[in-house]
Amino acid sequence: MPFGVAKIVYCGHAVKPEASQIPAEFVKFDQLMMTSDFVIVCCAQTKENTGLLNVEAFKKMKRSAVLINTSRGGLVNQNDLYDALKSGQIWGAGLDVTSPEPLPTDHPLLTLDNCVVLPHIGSATLDARNAMSALCARNIIEALHGRPMPAQIK
């Protein structure tokens, strides 16, 4: 696997059939926290998972672990994250999303050398923006012709 990754694990509500193509192993949340070197948050924010990454989750993580959030800021309790980073409970964090967004310039996370905060630019590659523009154009064309849009919100 690229970058020397030995194993990919994930959790969620159910096993994902496409995971076998990687291959990736479905595990419970606690096992994910305890075994991962990198915890990459890639899910929608719901009532059930708001604040999911909190003091209890950080205690389960390896001291060498890195948290990366590219989903929604509300998934991470940022005060608990600050404490985990400041104390060395986890090694580092990369945040493309925060709550609120943008993060106030006086927020304590911004004072840490082991936390990188970006202004929600994870999708700002040329390829991603071109794909987003093309999809928008296809939506407009289909809507003008009275046909279902390829990315219609139901």
Q: Is 13 a catalytic residue?
A: no
What is the 3 state secondary structure string of 30-47? Answer: HHHHHHCCEEEECCCCCC
- Determine the pLDDT at residue 120: 79
Q: Is the dihedral of CA 55, 61, 63, 65 positive or negative?
A: negative
What pTM does this model have?
0.79
Q: Which one is catalytic: 13, 107, 120, 145? A: 120
Q: What percent of the chain has pLDDT over 70?
A: 97
Cα–Cα nearest to 49, from 65, 31, 66, 71 = 71
Q: Which of 9-18, 65-74, 86-95 has the lowest mean pLDDT?
A: 9-18
Query: Tens of pLDDT along 113-154?
Result: 999 999 878 777 899 889 989 999 999 999 999 999 998 877
* The pLDDT of residue 144: 95
Q: Kindly tell me if the per-residue pLDDT of 4 is higher than 80.
A: no
| Amino acid 35: pLDDT | 95
CA separation for the pair 52, 138 (Å, rounded) = 36
Q: Looking at the predicted structure, is the pLDDT value of residue 3 above 80?
A: no
Match 């046909």 to its residue by tokens.
147
pLDDT tens per residue across span 13-68 = 889 888 888 889 999 999 999 999 999 999 999 999 999 999 999 999 999 999 99
% of the chain beyond a pLDDT of 90: 73
48 burial level (CB within 10 Å; 0-12, 13-18, 19+): exposed
